[in-house]
Chain A
């Protein structure tokens, strides 16, 4: 896990959504959304497909127009401009793995703002990239085409691209999808390490059990914030069923909690009541 949630909430927000309405001409994705992310926070955004998670991320990145309200990142308004404080890791499935590009060339993209813009990498830029790749244990792969790496290594390449510009905020779109369970845990563990170095992290995911184990803060989202807080408090049958518009079960055995994340199958499991199911979490009503 990263920083305890309680230790980060007393500082000034890094990202602020003030009554934001976002969407496209044909469809409003979310309305009057207010949300704050604090420095060093490590938060997971969960919700069903089509809930607007990716739109929320894109709104922070300035990639989609804000129809009303305002978003600020590090005190500056996002008005169609991508905040320089942000590092972004896209869904691994969206990457063109056949593209003939090396690990070093991919990571160099993350240095663009600070680069000389010369056609070639300077010695300093190359050193910065190689040092980071070494720290992520993929230094030996700098000259390799990205397709020739394993799933975990590929994810680390794109993480390196996001980190090389020293961002304050790291945004990851489904970093745990498309990799095996072991790699999922490795990625979340690594993100925890990065968070402890002071980087604020917001990620989207469908792996409820993995985030419950690794993340200190969860935002349940379905076109609005259903609830947010510590996973122990937020992951209740009531909140999840409300988030996913479908019956979902949470099984608790002592300190162990498991979400049955296949909707409609809740009746297969015996539900254990837990005091936290009354939800001490921060419930939102819009």
Chain B
């Protein structure tokens, strides 16, 4: 028991574990949307872009959170605008804008060479430096971001599933995309100190991908991802404390081990009780309805006649599987 309680005697560890679990949870929550949009690279790219903003904020003596936040948000808007150019594409747009932004940061550091150490912490994560003020900022971003994602649950879900069709059904897609960009930028900025620029992407993606392996339900995916994110942050902090390794690395390694376990579980499940068989049986055992041509009058709304055709059932199920 003392294994868990001993580190809690230190104030820096309490700050660190609070920050890591909060950051782990919120990164995992937005990770669900990032993974389902198949935009995993944006977390990686944006964290690098924000690094440029962080350096500029320090040099210009702006507030770190505001400066880096504005920089990150503008980077996402720029990525979205450039990605619309068919000849460029989203992946190339992310690559161009985020590496250019990162290069701005590196160029300024190599020019001034004054604050190399603090930026090393930004790159690789340093939980020791989490102050009470940082905790308030992290807590506020987590509260506001998760509240917005909850309040606009439908809008985020529909836009993520199919943005073009969501627009047709009246979802304000552009507005939702902008709001998401803002949340993403804010989450990345507050995660920088805990995870480090180089590790944030993994913190966003890994819990969500692991959750996806474990469920086919969106709501369960969100729940599992957040739980894994919080656990990854917590256990990662203990690992960081006991092995004296940077917190960003240990958090990501714990998340990676969750992924490996889920992957093995999925492999075993597929071999022992094939999912395909499950899918097939669902279509075969339930009332299979097929519409057929009839000359009769049809009563009721959208009435479809039911027939049992063994051959057609099989062929259609095969097609779906």
Residues of A within 8 A of B (CB): 61, 63, 82, 84, 86, 88, 90, 94-96, 99-102, 105-106, 108-110, 112-113, 115, 117-120, 135-138, 140-141, 144-145, 147-154, 161, 163, 165, 179-180, 182-183, 185-187, 189-190, 193-194, 197
Contacts and interface: CB of A to CB of B under 8 A. Distances in A.
B315 A105 contact: no
Contact of B154 (A82, A84, A115): A115
Nearest to A190: B291
Nearest to B301: A135
Contacts of A120: 153
B120 interface: no
A193 B300 CA distance: 10
Interface of B: 36, 150-155, 157-158, 160-162, 164-171, 212, 215-218, 220-221, 278-279, 282-283, 286-293, 298, 300-304, 306, 312, 315-317, 319-320
A112 B154 contact: yes
A41 B318 CA distance: 35
B302 A186 contact: no
Q: Is the interface of B mostly helix, strand, loop or mixed?
A: helix
Given A63-B167, A100-B212, A102-B217, A148 B301 contact: no
B291 A149 contact: no
Nearest to B158: A109
Contacts of B283: 148-150, 153
Given A109-B169, A137-B289, A193 B151 contact: no
Nearest to A95: B162
B317 A150 contact: yes
A143 B293 CA distance: 29
B167 A197 contact: no
A61 B283 CA distance: 34
B36 A99 contact: yes
A135 B291 contact: no
A148 B279 contact: yes
B279 A136 contact: no
Contacts of B289: 137-138, 153
A67 B167 CA distance: 21
B304 A151 contact: no
A88 B278 CA distance: 31
13 contacts: A61-B168, A82-B170, A105-B157, A110-B169, A113-B169, A144-B282, A145-B216, A149-B283, A152-B316, A154-B320, A185-B293, A190-B291, A193-B298
Given A100-B216, A193-B302, A151 B320 contact: yes
A136 B154 contact: no
Given A137-B289, A148-B282, 7 more contacts: A100-B215, A113-B169, A113-B170, A140-B286, A148-B283, A151-B320, A185-B291
Given A63-B168, A115-B154, A189-B293, A180 B304 contact: no
A197 B301 contact: yes
A102 B288 CA distance: 18
A81 to B, nearest CB: 10
Given A99-B161, A189-B292, A165 B282 contact: no
A200 B316 CA distance: 29
B290 A183 contact: yes
Given A137-B287, A150-B317, A183-B316, A105 B218 contact: yes
A80 to B, nearest CB: 11
Contacts of A194: 302
Given A100-B212, A137-B306, A182-B290, A86 B217 contact: no
Nearest to B32: A100
Contacts of A109: 158, 161-162, 165-166, 169, 171
A147 B279 contact: yes
A182 B279 contact: no
B144 to A, nearest CB: 16
B316 A150 contact: yes
A82 B165 contact: no
Contacts of A113: 169-170
Given A105-B157, A110-B169, A180-B316, A193 B303 contact: yes
A120 B151 CA distance: 9
Nearest to A117: B154
Contacts of B221: 100
Contacts of B220: 100
Contacts of B215: 100
